[in-house]
Amino acid sequence: MIPNMRTRLSVALSIAAGIFGGFAVPLTPAYGQAQTASKSNVGIPVVRITRDATLYLNNTRVYINVLAEQIRRGFPKAVEVQVAPDKDAVWDPISQVLATLREARLTARLAYAEDPK
């Protein structure tokens, strides 16, 4: 039994690294407090993945097949994208987003998604 979300995500990323030929996805935060995808990241594209697999690019709904194009259009100088999956999101849409970003040669940085209230 896997006790918490961080451990589950680490296991899932290890599996994904084997499947996708080994790519590095730095997990943020590295130390202590959890960093959240918030308004402090104004110049960085943030892809939020909800538990029902809906994708949002900086609070605008976007579909996986146009995700890279929308990032390039809205953030032409972006080299990294912050990916913020919901704590209850399943692995499949997260892996699709990571694969899409890798194909577009964008670095994915994982963060915790804030609960929209």
Domains, the chain, with CATH or none: 5-110 (3.30.420.270)
Q: Which helix (H) or strand (E) holds 83?
A: strand 80-85
Report whether pLDDT(114) > 70.
no
Q: For residue 4, is it left (φ>0), alpha (ψ between -120 and 50) or beta?
A: beta
Query: What's the whole-model pTM score?
Result: 0.62
* 18-35: average pLDDT: 50
Residue-level pLDDT at 82: 94
Query: Cα 59 to chain center, whole Å?
Result: 14
51-109: per-residue pLDDT in tens? 999 999 999 999 999 999 999 999 999 999 999 998 888 889 999 999 999 999 999 99
Residue-level pLDDT at 34: 46
Token digits for 75?
A: 């953030």
Token digits for 19?
A: 């499947």
Residue-level pLDDT at 30: 42
Residue-level pLDDT at 100: 93
Residue-level pLDDT at 102: 94
